[in-house]
Amino acid sequence: MSQTVNGPDVAVVGFMPQIPDPAQQPAVYRNSAWPRAMDFLLKSGNPVPAIANYGDLQALINQQEFRVVVALRGVSVTWPDQTSPAQVQYLPPDLVPGYTPVRIWHNLGGLWQSWLLWYSRGVAVTNVAHSATQQFCTIELTVRVKLSWFMNAAQAILTWHLAPSAIVRVSYTLHRSGATQIEFVGSDIPSQQYLVGWNIVHLHDMCTITGPELNAFITAGNCLDAPISVKCTVP
């Protein structure tokens, strides 16, 4: 007997917290070996995304105020019978490299104001794969995103290290029983919202990372993968 299981939409939104005042920036960044670079990083931050549906996600992409977006929608797996391969369907995933806003900040009478110069689009390498058995199907989305050549050169001047690739990976498993398991993993930078059914199920805040974690990210190496240390599994 044919059996079809549908799964919820999932998404990851990566962003940098926007903290222009050096006095308000987390100590791990202020006290790093590269305080000027970290100040620039947090001055290039984004407003915290507010995503309640796919339309909001598309609006965010158009606004360019994010560092990476991954979204998977319309997932459906059909098992025709007890022996035939599963039939897997989903809409084309959103795998979008984000932007670095280049802003000039001024403190005018205690009020920080900025002027946007441009958005520097990042570079991404993406991969989508799925596999299925008679009992479950797994879809895996991976995005490796790094700075544009210009921003990478600027980072190298400030830190003496070319930027690594930040990573976001989603492993989405639907079981024939109807159960769903979704695993999100990512690097320490940027901050990441993990959404299932357009509800945030976990927030990774890059302001809470440790000094060794920050050092490991910055020094990971040009075009190499940053360490993966963020992990969330639903349920």
User: pLDDT, tens digit, for every residue of 173-186?
Assistant: 999 989 999 999 99
Domain hosting residue 221, numbered range:
3-234
DSSP string, the chain: --EEEE---EEEEEE-B----GGGS-HHHHTSS-HHHHHHHHHT-BPPP--SSHHHHHHHHHHT--SEEEEE---EEEE-SSSSPPEEE-PPPEEEE-EEEEEEEEEETTEEEEEEEEEEE-EEEEEEEEEE-SSEEEEEEEEEEE--HHHHHHHHHHHSS---BEEEEEEEEEETTS-EEEEEEEESSSEEEEEETTEEEEEE-GGG--HHHHHHHHTS-TTSBPPEEEEEEE-
**Structure confidence by residue, pLDDT tens digits, 137-156:** 999 999 999 988 888 888 88
Closest C-alpha to 233, from 10, 14, 66, 68: 10
Reply yes or no on whether the pLDDT at 223 is more than 80.
Answer: no
Task: Please give the tally of structural domains in the chain.
Answer: 1
Total-model pTM: 0.93
Give the pLDDT score at 154.
Answer: 84
Give the pLDDT score at 229.
Answer: 85
Query: How far apart, in whole angstroms, are the C-alpha atoms of residue 59 and residue 164?
Result: 28
Query: Is residue 205 within 8 Å of residue 213, measured between CB atoms?
Result: no
Give the pLDDT score at 235.
Answer: 85
**Structure confidence by residue, pLDDT tens digits, 93-135:** 999 999 999 999 998 888 899 999 999 999 999 999 999 888 8
Give the pLDDT score at 84.
Answer: 79
**Structure confidence by residue, pLDDT tens digits, 34-86:** 999 999 999 999 999 999 999 999 999 999 999 999 999 999 999 988 887 78
